[in-house]
Chain A
């Protein structure tokens, strides 16, 4: 099933405001997805927050190592008043900082920390960007595709757990 274009008053208003920075708006399996230029992500998120999307469900990332901009950042938003969801996606090159969503949704704090922990993506404006699930002195970001599933920070394991290897 191919995705269908999503065009209604809502996307029209966003296009009026952000023009070509709204790259694409589509419907797939009845789910709404906004593809946004990374330069406008902060503004689009702010506009969506004002438009009533008061619940940030999730922030996550996907790694596509072969792409020129290898990281997809995904924000899943929900509006309690209108009972609707929207997903926002933007592509980032390696090393780029992503605007933190914590000014609009404080709950983004831990979610962004997890993205940083697992992908090594930094968020600008985050109040406390540290690893959250892995130890702070761990080397590597496991959810990157170039991190094999059996890989571990051998030196960390030997130092802290006193065993030769964890696998």
Chain B
């Protein structure tokens, strides 16, 4: 590869070095470091931008600042001990992480959570999807320069976190589920809290839409920015709202239902253009659909046990499984290999944020520097999950 060629955004490759005899100083291109402390990179993402004026010629993500070796830790903890660690990967959707992990281990062991536990799991996971999207909405709008939505969205997030707190005592790193079901039954008044939330929430989404959907500045900043078509999404393994915004109606809750999702009526919102604006539309619609699922679930909470029969000394049989769920950011998978001992022999996390972030390079090519902020926000990454 010659020094002058620009690598294909899909194939990757190192950024082009200056040709021999040419320094960065006298070329018209400039290298700009964005992050790892830039507020709009949502954590410790560093993007090295190669700029021609204000246009992005190429970009490279530098990640790993938050690497804690979660997979290695998993090999040195029992299955139960590792459960709280998954909350700390995608820390704005801890409940979903817990759902994915517990279901994967249950599959490895060959147990199924009791019906009551499954319904509670669905309700909490959907609440968590809403709260994750709400954090995304507020901060993404803030990045682009809209101050107001964050105040509205965090108001609703507070209601959700209060429900989490009443249920399990924690607001963010909830550790809400246990392998085999739940540790705690519902508190008195859970149903009425949820019904109240479901009654008010759609009107709140309307408020967000009033602020943004037809807002001219919002549209100017997002329509046509950071387009990613369906073919590229599939080639890169991009999932979640980014994939759906490109027009692919694919959601693991429908494609391979888990935890009883087949029992609920809901739709998969899709976009058309796969741009930042469509991702915004898709996430807003998803919040409405989640609200619909919660409303259906709260009316049919079955009685019964909340924890399956799980041995005190938990040693899954020798074998391996891969199980994935539709986390708010995309497909979250756990690949677990058991050697029959107390600890997983290998615990691999397939994080949606990590895989989705790979698409950034292709999306920012040719965009303006200010658009990079909008595009990073629109993928909705959490660096705790990217770096693990």
Contacts and interface: CB of A to CB of B under 8 A. Distances in A.
Give the interface centre of B73, B255, B348, B354 by most chain A CB atoms within 10 Å.
B348
Given A28-B321, A133-B387, A57 B237 contact: yes
A83 B256 CA distance: 8
B169 interface: no
B346 A31 contact: no
Interface in A92-141: 102, 105-107, 109-111, 114, 118, 127-128, 130-135
Interface string A1-16: 1010000000000000
A58 B110 contact: no
A88 to B, nearest CB: 12
Given A56-B237, A149-B76, A1 B63 contact: no
B64 A135 contact: yes
B72 A149 contact: yes
A29 B64 contact: no
Interface stretch (B6-14, B121-129, B148-156, B301-309): B6-14
A134 B358 contact: no
Contact of A110 (B14, B67, B110, B358): B358
Contacts, number: 106
B237 A80 contact: no
Leading 5 A-B pairs by shortest Cβ distance? A107-B237, A133-B64, A106-B10, A107-B236, A58-B350
On chain B, which size bracket covers the interface? 35 or more
Nearest to A131: B64
B73 A149 contact: yes
A131 B317 CA distance: 34
A87 B237 contact: no
Interface string A60-79: 10110000000000101000
Interface string B197-230: 0000000000000000000000000000000000
A62 B350 contact: no
B348 A109 contact: no
B258 interface: no
A42 interface: no
Nearest to A117: B64
On chain A, which size bracket covers the interface? 35 or more
A1 B319 CA distance: 9
Contact of B235 (A62, A63, A106, A118): A106
A57 B350 contact: yes
Nearest to A114: B354
Nearest to B66: A133
Interface string B335-356: 1010000000110101000110
A151 B234 CA distance: 38
Contacts of B250: 80
B58 to A, nearest CB: 13
A54 B320 CA distance: 23
Nearest to A83: B255
B234 A55 contact: yes
A3 B319 contact: yes
27 contacts: A29-B321, A31-B322, A54-B234, A55-B234, A57-B237, A57-B322, A57-B331, A57-B350, A58-B348, A60-B350, A62-B345, A62-B346, A63-B346, A76-B335, A107-B237, A107-B358, A110-B12, A110-B354, A110-B358, A118-B71, A127-B7, A127-B12, A127-B13, A128-B14, A133-B63, A133-B67, A134-B64
